[in-house]
Amino acid sequence: MKFFTPVFIAIFFLGSCKLMTKDEKSKNAGENKTGNASLDINYYGMIGEDSVFEYSLTNTNGMAVKIINFGATVTQILVPYKKGEMGDVVLGFDSLRGYLQPNNPYFGCVVGRYANRIANAKFTLDGKEYTLAANNSGNTLHGGLKGFDKVIWKLKGKEINDKHSILEFQYLSKDGEEGYPGNVDVTVTYSLLPANELKIDYIATSDKSTPVNLTNHSYFNLSAGADSTILDHELMLKADKYTPVNSQLIPTGKIIPVKGTAMDFTTPKKIGKEITLVEGYDHNWILNRTGNEPELIGTLYHAPSGRFMEVFTTEPGVQFYSGNFLDGSLTGKSGKKYVKHAGLCLETQHYPDSPNQPAFPNTILKPGDVYRQTTIYKFSVK
């Protein structure tokens, strides 16, 4: 796969414009024809002296994905429903200002250096204790006060042909950032493929041993805003076990079978059926995986629209979060208030608090090793 770095000639008109070289304009004029894949770039706003851009990917079926380089954030996923019309199936905001709010609940972003929680904002590695930024009831959540979701990612490359469009983002997390050791070089690649698949590849290297756990934090609602909650969505997870948590949502270290409990999604079940028994889902499921390649680990179905989403991953776990902390105080796209359970996350990952849980799969990235993760969200209509 060949990538190249674009050279932009920026013309700012009323704060919004298309950013392309003359050659790119000519190339995209052909790409934007109906039925062809396309990749457009627009100015989205400023953070200090840094420009934020929105990248719009479209495949040959008309499915569209928008991503901004702030947090490598997915801001829109347009997919059809059973009558053919397109709808946006992820929560988010209409402008950069929304994503900069301190109470933005990680809509659509890449989270790291360690996704999910680390207990007491501490871990010990090679005999040394590291103290992290405590941003969640004394624990560390999604990398700390300024995790990967709150930084500008560099556009490392892009590729487009008549079938797919690809964006490659890079970020260098410096030694000591948020308390973590090592300079960690991260690349995240978004690929929009012909079969209505959004593929996300993660690669990372480090010059010191350090915990690494990356994921995407998109909130899905397959009704595309027609339903205020996801409680009538049907979820299936290929997971016979999960990791129970304490009152601060930190894993206890136990591994428990889901059979006979509200945590059992081994056959499709409406999310709202037993949600009150657990006061909302925000847990890590241990996936029934057998190999190193991406495998189908879950499905999500919204019967009224017919939208169906399949999730494939190389990861050992998935955090199913049912939007328990949304409370209607956030105004999202088109002025919509996001109420409790307005969207759900399926965060493919290693287990939470693994640096403090020796029985969990290892998350330590060592010098000379390469962290790799692939997740695919595939959309269709039933």
How far apart CA 167 and CA 242 sit, in angstroms, is 34
How many Cα atoms within 13 Å fall on the side-chain side of residue 377? Answer: 27
Residue 198 gets the label, from left (phi > 0), alpha (psi -120 to 50) or beta, of: beta
How would you list the strands of the sheet with 64-68, edge to edge? 38-47, 50-58, 64-68, 73-80, 86-88
Res 11 pLDDT > 60: no
User: Please, which residues have CB within 8 angstroms of residue 105's CB and are 6 or more apart in sequence?
Assistant: 219, 325, 326, 330
Longest dimension (CA), the chain: 62
User: CA torsion, points 225, 228, 231, 235, in degrees to nearest 10?
Assistant: 10
pLDDT of residue 30 exceeding 70, the answer is no
pLDDT band at 37; cut points 50, 70, 90: confident
Give the per-residue pLDDT at 8: 36
Give the chain's domains with CATH numbers: 22-381 (2.70.98.10)
Give the separation between CA 284 and CA 289, rounded to whole angstroms: 15
pLDDT for 29: 32
pLDDT (tens digit per residue) in 191-239: 999 999 999 999 999 999 999 999 999 999 999 999 999 999 999 999 9
Question: How big is the chain by its Cα radius of gyration, in Å?
Answer: 20
DSSP element (H, E) containing 22: helix 22-31
Separation between Cα atoms, residue 329 and residue 212, nearest integer Å: 32
User: What pLDDT score does 88 carry?
Assistant: 98
Is residue 51 scored above 90 in pLDDT?
yes
Catalytic residue among 217, 302, 341, 350: 217
Q: To the nearest whole number, what is the mean pLDDT of the chain? A: 91
Q: Hey, is 96 helix, strand or coil?
A: helix
Question: Has 49 been annotated as catalytic?
Answer: no
Active-site hit among 24, 168, 178, 347: 347
Give me the pLDDT at residue 291, please: 87
How far is CA 319 from each of CA 217, 340, 347, rounded to the nearest angstrom?
10, 18, 5
Q: Is the pTM of this model over 0.75?
A: yes
3-state DSSP helix/strand/coil % of the chain, to nearest 5: 10, 40, 50
Beta pairing partners, 236:
299
**Peptide bond connecting 113 to the previous residue in cis, omega within 30 degrees of 0:** yes
Closest CA to 131 of 356, 369, 362, 367: 356
Other CB atoms within 10 Å distance of the CB of residue 50: 11
Kindly indicate the confidence band of residue 36, based on its pLDDT and cuts at 50, 70 and 90. confident
Give Cβ neighbours of residue 117 (< 8 Å, ≥ 6 apart). 136, 139, 140, 141, 248, 249, 250, 352, 353
217 is catalytic: yes
